[in-house]
Structure 1
Amino acid sequence: MKINGLYLNKVSGLGTFILPMTCIRVCQSIDKCLLHMKKTIQTFISLLLLGLLWVGSAKALPTLLHNVKGYTFADGELKQFNSILFEDGVILATGEQEELSKLHSFSISIDGKGKTLLPGLIDAHGHLLGLGLNLMRVNLRGIESEDETVKAVVSYAEKNPDTRWVLGRGWNQVLWLSKEFPTKSSLDKVIADRPIWLSRIDGHAGWANSKALKLAGIDKSTPDPEGGKIIRDENGEATGVLIDAAMSLVENKIPPLNKKERKTALKLAFDHLISLGITSVHDAGVDFETYKLMLELSDKNRIPLRVYAMLSGADPRLEAMLKFGRVNQPFLKIQSVKLYTDGALGSRGAALLEPYSDEPDNKGLLLTTADKLGQYLALITKYGFQTNIHAIGDAANHMVLEELSKLDEDRSAKKLRHRIEHAQVVVPEEIPMFAKLGVIASMQPTHATSDMNMAGDRLGEERLEGAYAWRTFLDNDVVIASGSDFPVEKANPFLGLHAAVTRQDSDNLPEDGWLPTQKLTVAEALKSFTIDAAYASFWENKIGSLEEGKQADFILIDKDIFTVSEDQIDDVQVLETWIEGKRVH
């Protein structure tokens, strides 16, 4: 058979080989022809073996991604490069293309076309199951009136007639003209035959219709549970809004999620985060059922980004999970516990040392006493686990710092890297205590720009000095691990970077930024979403920066965040997400 001037022939045991036409023409004798054939066969076998060798090692062939504007951190300092070389998911080097090309002459070469390359971003505080469920339920985020919120609920209910409960999240009365909590009556007018339960955007308050209240057994005589509050009208009747621990009265009546629903929610959350350039996430509080599911998904290699899961301190099977020990797998690490000490500022549940400026008889809600927190710390540190403690108000932060200061060296924050989640309102004089004790401040920049329209009302001007005080924390050598607290806020990390740098909302207001002396630089903000967030999860030797020996987790974006105007950072689009050297988005 002749193809492109070559004869293809079969030889028993060797398969097809290539015989040049010149061999046929030149051969004047059988001996000469056989000699040429022998040499051709030997050449073909050599090429065949080389080809087989190449095919066998194709997966291990290094990849050189060049022509990029690369940024990373090395020894805490920002470093630039135009090429990155990686193999089997591990970084071999970053630097200049010519230099890296010499390291491996045989490699897959990819042109980055001048795009900006960053380490994969890490969200140090989010709620995976909550995000997934939020994507499955009615989303009330950003709606600017109670009436419009109710219309959205009705629309969802009509499209989902078979749901036993109408569930949703995201309402925020601060955005409404009245700024008042909603009532059950507005829901009762449109849906009376199905129970409705709608979580506030911060997850620290819920709004129910009469059907849900009845199922929960809530009436005029129902007492406020410890750590919670039933909002009542002038006659003492429940209005439909429940704060913090009171929420469980309704939530305990909602049919529990089945395994399929959990898996669906987690998959939706994973895919959503990867599309946003998030390659690792700290899941702030997983219950026993989600814990089991994550272990199962990890064993089956079904977790596509790196998850640092915090066990829920509220789960009655906490000690059983602690006894199982630490989990350290490529895409799942578990060695921390999430605790709560107070509520949120927006619902006036954050525990303050002095009363709220706009509600003089209210100091918020302390959900965990100092004695109980001490007991939790004793239990959790006994198993060598990190403790990550939700504290928003200055009273809650003060209590947590006090209890952490009592731990001996082997159980201390310097050893186990204990964290305070949010650290939103802190007495300024107590901020240096974070560094002294080794406590990590796990903060969410978009909380400041979401809360700025009410924080002054809640706190008054004087207490704002220690509120959302990122610059003060950094100036006192405190490690900040940044996140979003999704689904409380949107998961997009570039909204967080923008908020940290500008102290402005998505409309770039206020003009000079809210409390502008607390702004971060772009490098400082990026560090808090990368290597410092990795440190907060004991993963700093594996991820968080693009250095030799670390995992090739990185993203390509459409704008250079170090050169564009700061007000454009929240418009950045993620073009590609790579995890362990593989493009996953």
Structure 2
Amino acid sequence: MRAVFLILAIFASFAILACTSSNSPRPETIYTNASIWTGVPNAARAQALAVRNGEIVAIGSNAEIAKLRGESTAVVDLNGAFVVPGFMDSHTHFMSGGFQLASVDLRDAKSPEEFSQRIADFAKNLPQGRWLTGGDWDHEMWGGELPRREWIDQLTPHHPVFVNRLDGHMALANSKALQLAGIDRNTPDPEGGTIVRDPQTKEPTGILKDEAMSLVYRIMPDASEAEQDEAFARASAHALARGVTQVHDMGGWGDLATYRRAHTRGDLKLRIYSVVPLGTWAKLAEYVKQNGRGDEWLRWGGLKGFVDGSLGSTTAWFYQPYEDAPETSGLMTTDTTALRNWIIAADSASLHVVVHAIGERANDWLLNVYSEAAQKNGARDRRFRIEHAQHLTRAAIARFAELGVIASMQPYHAIDDGRWAVKRIGTERIKTTYAFRSLIDSKAALAFGSDWTVAPIEPLLGIYAAVTRRTTDGANPNGWVPEEKITLEEALRAYTSGDAYAGFQENRLGTLEPNKLADFVVLSEDLFAIDPVNIPNVRVLRTVVGGRESFIAQ
């Protein structure tokens, strides 16, 4: 053991000396007097780190790093604060989040009356004819009754309204929006979607699920470039204040164009991995040929597809019917023949395939297709991902590691859905719901995110959720499906090095060590020194991205 410590000490000294040679430039900034969890396995805590040209050049004790100081080096005293690698979010709808920040907020509306009144109040400040969107409502907040257009029609006579459930898999349209979209009792359900109808009159209630939502989206006006840029700026500021230094954005080509404009202006303050729709794989393959895959601030090359819908909308695809909706076992939102062909073709073009699957049948189907694609296209470092991997069979859990498939999951969903999931799928199926512990034990790669705006883009809340599994209603103080809790260190890794691996960046991000990018977060409390139930109370004091201080708490 003494020999091991000696080797580590020699290595650390060599790293410091390499930075202090007479010909070596001095750091631009030194951060000192901190407790630094580097994320490097089995490494001791550090006290200080030095930054130059957006990279960490040294990390160690206060005394060691102080030796590197030059005449122009800035020194930031962190006063004993706790430092971790920059939090990453492996699954966001980032531009939607930026727009939602300026839209009606229905997430915590606790009754039909409050839901309706918030829409009415917001409409009063909108010019006539302007679409009222956003929402992020949750009908489980008032017992599970789906909203109807009659709730809001008289309150919004001059505005088309289309407000989505928080999972993004169903939305409520008022009568004006339905009329503009040409939806009436004779409109057939589109493939992969459902128009919910009144059981007596057969008229649309206003609720549209999954692909049926496209009937409205296709007639809504596009946001201007200026509006898109403003939304991106709002989203960036919001994320940085919560310690997020990079997002993997499940967006579209217009979103990528917005990010490229910001990059050209020098306005990127956090890193973006821009993922576009899987059905456009041929376009992306050509785009990569012409433009490469971006740089360390903005990258592309990923494709997002969908197998099924969501649990909250009863459209996640299961083998057995829902307990509270026995007429359905969910649906496939994309034609499975087309989806299979896209996955295999995109993989053959060396693109990065990430696909949404929530129900156990959807996950099994996707694992089978991933296995087929790997066999057809040969061995390579492809890093297939399943986004959500929410409800799994026992057999599926083992297959993630066997196939090298990354489980890209959102722990906050567990403490949100846990309030009501048992009524949807019963006591047996929830045993392998959000199976973080089982996946890690099976040696699967785990990456964490938020699915913002479905859930808050707050990694600290996600860590709290993964470690405690205490549902948001307070009904499960010892954790919902507590067997699937994970440790604090495991949760931190899923938000840092796990996300770096999920984006092919483990050589540059995810841990704090020399020659990696200087992305880190300063927190008000040492997460390892407090009761995990208090993690939501921890504040982000400073967010540093590429050596730039992108957020400082006031």
> Is the TM-score greater than 0.5?
yes
Is 2:273 the partner of 1:308? yes
Alignment partner of 1:365 out of 305, 310, 331: 331
Q: Which residue of 2 aligns with 1:518?
A: 484
Q: Which amino acid aligns with 1:313?
A: L
1:387 partner SS: strand
- Give the alignment partner of residue 63 of structure 1, picking from 26, 29, 41: 29
Deviation per CA, 1:45-87, whole angstroms, max 9, x where unpaired? xxxxxxxxxxxx999644221110110222x446411111222
Q: Residue 380 of structure 1 is aligned with which of 330, 343, 346?
A: 346
Q: Does 1:221 align with 2:186?
A: yes
Match of 2:141 in 1: 175
1:495 maps to 461
- Flag the 1:104–1:195 CA change in 2: closer, same or farther, 3 A: closer
Matches within 5 A, 1:412-561: 415-506=381-472, 509-561=475-527
Cα–Cα, structure 1 residues 377 and 79, in superposed 2: closer, same or farther, change >3 Å?
farther
Letter in 1 for 2:153: D
Long gaps (5+) in structure 1:
1-56
Aligned partner of 1:46 in structure 2 is none
- For residue 112 of structure 2, the aligned residue among 135, 141, 146 is 146
The 2-side partners of 1:98 and 1:229 are apart by 65
2:17 is aligned to none
Partner residue, 1:323: 286
Where 1:436 maps in the other structure, the secondary structure is helix
Q: CA deviation at 1:291?
A: 2.0
Aligned twin of 1:209:
174
On the 8 A contact 1:404/1:412 being kept in 2, the answer is no
Counterpart amino acid of residue 82 in structure 1: Q
Q: Which has the larger radius of gyration?
A: 1
Q: Equivalents in 2 of 1:138, 1:58: separation in Å?
A: 54
The letter of the residue matching 2:156 is I
Secondary structure of residue in 2 paired with 1:136: coil
Number of equivalenced pairs = 524
Kindly indicate whether the alpha-carbon contact (under 8 Å) linking 2:27 and 2:70 is maintained by their aligned counterparts in 1. no
Match of 1:322, SS state, is helix
Alignment map for 1:33-44 (pairs within 5 Å): none
Contact 2:26–2:69 (8 Å) recurs in 1? no
Cα shift at 1:138: 0.7
Normalization by structure 2: what TM-score? 0.91
Q: Deviations over 1:323-353 (max 9, x none)?
A: 1114231210112101011100001010111
- Render the CA deviation track for 1:255-309: whole Å, top value 9, x for unaligned: 111211111111111111111110011001x222222232232233221111011
Q: Percent identity?
A: 35
Q: Work out whether residues 498 and 570 of structure 1, in 8 Å CA contact, stay in contact via their aligned partners in 2.
A: yes
Cα 1:58–1:167 shift into 2, 3 Å: farther
* Counterpart contact for 2:95–2:232, Cα < 8 Å: yes
Report if the CA contact (8 A) 1:370-1:399 is conserved: no
Which AA in structure 2 matches 1:229?
T
Which amino acid counterpart does residue 347 of structure 2 have in structure 1? Answer: T
What's the CA shift for 1:318?
Answer: 4.4
SS in structure 2 of the partner of residue 81 of structure 1: coil
* Change in CA separation of 1:219 and 1:424 when aligned onto 2, cut-off 3 Å: same
In the alignment, is the contact (CA less than 8 A) between 2:303 and 2:353 conserved in 1? yes
Instruction: Report what 1:571 is aligned to.
Output: 537
Q: Which moved more, 1:386-395 or 1:94-103?
A: 94-103
Residue 298 of structure 1 corresponds to which residue in structure 2?
A: 263
Task: Provide the rounded CA distance (Å) in 1 between the counterparts of 2:547 and 2:469.
Answer: 34
1:186 aligns with one of 151, 175, 182? 151
Deviation for aligned residue 1:105: 6.2
Give 1:411 deviation, angstroms: 4.5
* Residue 333 (structure 1) aligned to one of 299, 305, 315: 299
Gap regions ≥5 residues in structure 2 = 1-22
- The aligned amino acid for 1:209 is N
In the alignment, the residues of structure 2 paired with residue 458 and residue 272 of structure 1 have an alpha-carbon distance, to the nearest angstrom, of 33
Residue 209 of structure 2 aligns with an amino acid whose one-letter code is: I
**Distance (whole Å) between structure 2 residues aligned to residue 487 and residue 122 of structure 1:** 15
Please state whether the residue corresponding to 2:294 is helix, strand or coil: strand
Kindly provide the amino acid, as one letter, of the partner of residue 334 in structure 1.
W
- Structure 1 residue 408, shift from structure 2 partner: 3.4
Q: Secondary structure at the match of 2:337?
A: helix
Distance between the aligned counterparts of 2:470 and 2:374, measured in 1?
41
Cα deviation digits, residues 152-207 of structure 1 (max 9, x gap): 01111101234521112211111103x11011111112122321111111100010
Give the TM-score, by structure 1 length: 0.86
How far apart, in 2, do the equivalents of 1:412 and 1:144 lie?
Answer: 52
Partner amino acid, structure 1, of 2:45: Q
